[in-house]
Amino acid sequence: MKILYVCTEIYPLLKTGGLADVGAALPAALRAAGCHVRLLLPAFPSIAAGVRADAPALRLPVEGGPDVLRTLQPPPMLVRGHVIESGQPVYLLDAPALYQREGGPYQDAAGQDWSDNAARFALLGWAAAALGQGADPHWQPDVVHAHDWHAGLAPLYQKLLAGAGRITPSVFTVHNLAYQGLFAASSCAELGVPESLFTINGAEYHGQLSFMKAGLQFADAITTVSPRYAQEIMTPEQGCGLDGVLRDRRDRVSGILNGVDYELWNPATDPLLNAHFDGKRMSGKARVKRALQRLLGLEERPDALLFAAVTRLSEQKGLHLVPAMLPELIDRGGQLVILGSGDAGIEAALREALACHPGQAALRTGYNEDLAHRIIAAADVLLVPSRYEPCGLTQLYGLRYGTLPLVHAVGGLADTVTDCSLEALDEGRASGFAFHEFSANGLLGAMRRAFALRRRPSDWSAVQRRAMQQRFDWQEPAQAYRALYQTLLALTAAPLRF
């Protein structure tokens, strides 16, 4: 079974969030499950540098596609090759005018969205559809699997290209429904989206073109990255205005929990740590903690309950709740470390709050993969107080490293972390701390439970061992996706409804 996997990031070549981790790990797990997977990626500079071409480039079909197919010089090409480090086969969408530029993949150096993002990612969808319909005479996928809004036009374009012919079935995975790829209605003409599809039952969203909605409307199957999130996005509270679309297509929606690459995230072998440990020998964790305290200028107190957050600084991630919690955390003898970047207002509030507690709190901005590993390994409690969370990978890393997650009980956080209630402790199910009211008080309550558990060393050790024994590897999700692909192949892909 041949799968075209369409995304914009892959670790370690380019990472802005969990999408990159999934892009590296899921295709590898699918290969182990018997699928032949090729990735389609934009030729961003860091991705292109990590890929070796091994076949002549392919031209894309032009008729009906985005205007950039006709106007760009040199014209967009598909470079066939493989990731040098892993050997993963890929197609690079090579369009230097769109992708070879300074700044990030989605925003410029000033943090502003690139003005031509509609064209940049419409071209990705068009390339996916073209490959789905046979643009490479040597390899045609059985299923096209598109990820998040950047690839949202792929299912729509597939059905336009197919016309009355064979339609390669498509899967569209929602990693975060809040980011929808919204563009002006006037962009439809330049992107080759027919007026007949710019309707309430098509890709129109409150007068704008929505790449996310296009994926939801035209894919043959829709998945999310956790079972709980699949249910939550069908509600007005978390549906981001698309809950009605999802309810209408509920028979096509399923949730498949993300996994973890335990070769990268393993405290017994992690090369980024100064000491190693596992569930039976935990002394190395104390040494990692001491080294981190020294590095970040914290008092070297082994008894300090060290809380940490490795995250985007955004309202979604709940970090704006932390300043209200911090004074009590410090008064109780705790420490706090935060690594992240994002919203300037939240960053300024955190900087001001943490600066009031020198030697007990530290903030590092930006993203540093090495430091992220060290923080997650060193901390005692990992803060993931997200307002909503499709899956979350950070809490899964925390479990593996014996760093008990403290989470808001939503989405994948609720699917993976069991609160240290008396019943859960008694039954041996507890693996962290969870709160249900998204507020500073809710977060404070969970923090107090963390301190209470720490005062019971035998219970703390038991929960820590239970957390480290949890396994969320990629084998089970890969089998679930393989079964989904097989189901689609047994059906006739739905034709355009317009």
Reported as a single tens digit per residue, the pLDDT across 13-48 is 999 888 999 999 999 999 999 999 999 999 999 999
Could you tell me the pLDDT band of residue 495, with boundaries at 50, 70 and 90?
low
Distance of CA 443 to the CA centre of its chain: 24
pLDDT, position 164: 57
pLDDT value at residue 456: 97
Residue 162: pLDDT band (50, 70, 90) is confident
| Cβ contact 411:232 at 8 Å | yes
pLDDT of 364 higher than 70: yes
Q: Are residues 252 and 318 in the same domain?
A: no
Range of the domain at 395: 283-469
* Whether the Cβ atoms of residue 158 and residue 129 lie closer than 8 Å to each other: yes
Confidence of residue 494 (pLDDT cuts 50, 70, 90): low
The pLDDT value recorded for residue 493 is 52
User: Is residue 269 domain-resident?
Assistant: no
Q: What single letter denotes the amino acid at residue 335?
A: Q
pLDDT in the model for residue 166: 77
In a domain, 272, yes or no: no
Q: Is residue 342 part of a domain?
A: yes
Question: What average pLDDT does range 384-393 have in this prediction?
Answer: 96
Instruction: Assign residue 54 the CATH number of its domain.
Output: 3.40.50.2000
The verdict on 380 and 235 lying in the same domain is: no
Mean pLDDT of 309-318: 94
Whether residue 479 sits in one domain with residue 394: no
Mean pLDDT in the chain? Answer: 95
Q: By percentage, how much of the chain surpasses pLDDT 70?
A: 98
In a domain, 24, yes or no: yes
* 490, two tokens: 């047994």
- Is the backbone of residue 55 left (phi > 0), alpha (psi -120 to 50) or beta? beta
Q: Given pLDDT bands bounded at 50, 70 and 90, which one contains residue 110?
A: confident
pLDDT single digits (tens) 175-221: 999 999 999 999 999 999 999 999 999 999 999 999 999 999 999 99
Judge if 46 and 162 occupy the same domain.
yes
Mean pLDDT of 130-152: 97
Judge contact between 430 and 466, C-beta under 8 A. Answer: yes
Residue 218 domain-assigned?
Answer: yes
95 and 231 in a single domain? The answer is: yes
The answer on 335 and 385 residing in a single domain is: yes
Going by C-beta distance under 8 Å and a sequence separation of 6 or more, which residues neighbour residue 127?
A: 40, 60, 76, 78, 91, 93, 135
**Residue 351's closest CA among 380, 317, 341?**
341
Q: Quick one: pLDDT band at residue 491, thresholds 50, 70, 90? A: confident
Burial of 491 (0-12, 13-18, 19+ CB in 10 A): exposed
Looking at the fold, whether 223 and 302 belong to one and the same domain comes out as no
Say if 293 falls within a structural domain. Answer: yes
Number of residues assigned to the chain: 498
Task: Clarify whether residues 97 and 10 are in a common domain.
Answer: yes
Mean pLDDT for the stretch of residues 408-427 = 96
The DSSP annotation for 286-314 comes to: HHHHHHHHHHHT----TTS-EEEEEEEES
For residue 74, is the peptide bond before it cis, meaning its omega torsion is within 30 degrees of 0? yes
Structural domains in the chain (count) = 2
Quick one: 465 and 479 in the same domain? no
Same domain, yes or no, for 217 and 337?
Answer: no
Which residue is associated with the tokens 């919690």? 325
* Pair 297, 403 in one domain: yes
- pLDDT band of residue 111 (cuts 50, 70, 90) is confident
Is the pLDDT assigned to residue 125 strictly greater than 70?
Answer: yes
Q: Decide: 89 and 73 in contact? Cβ < 8 Å.
A: no
Task: Evaluate whether residue 495 is within a structural domain.
Answer: no
Instruction: Give the per-residue pLDDT at 163.
Output: 74
Are 210 and 350 in a shared domain? no
Residue 173 belongs to a domain: yes
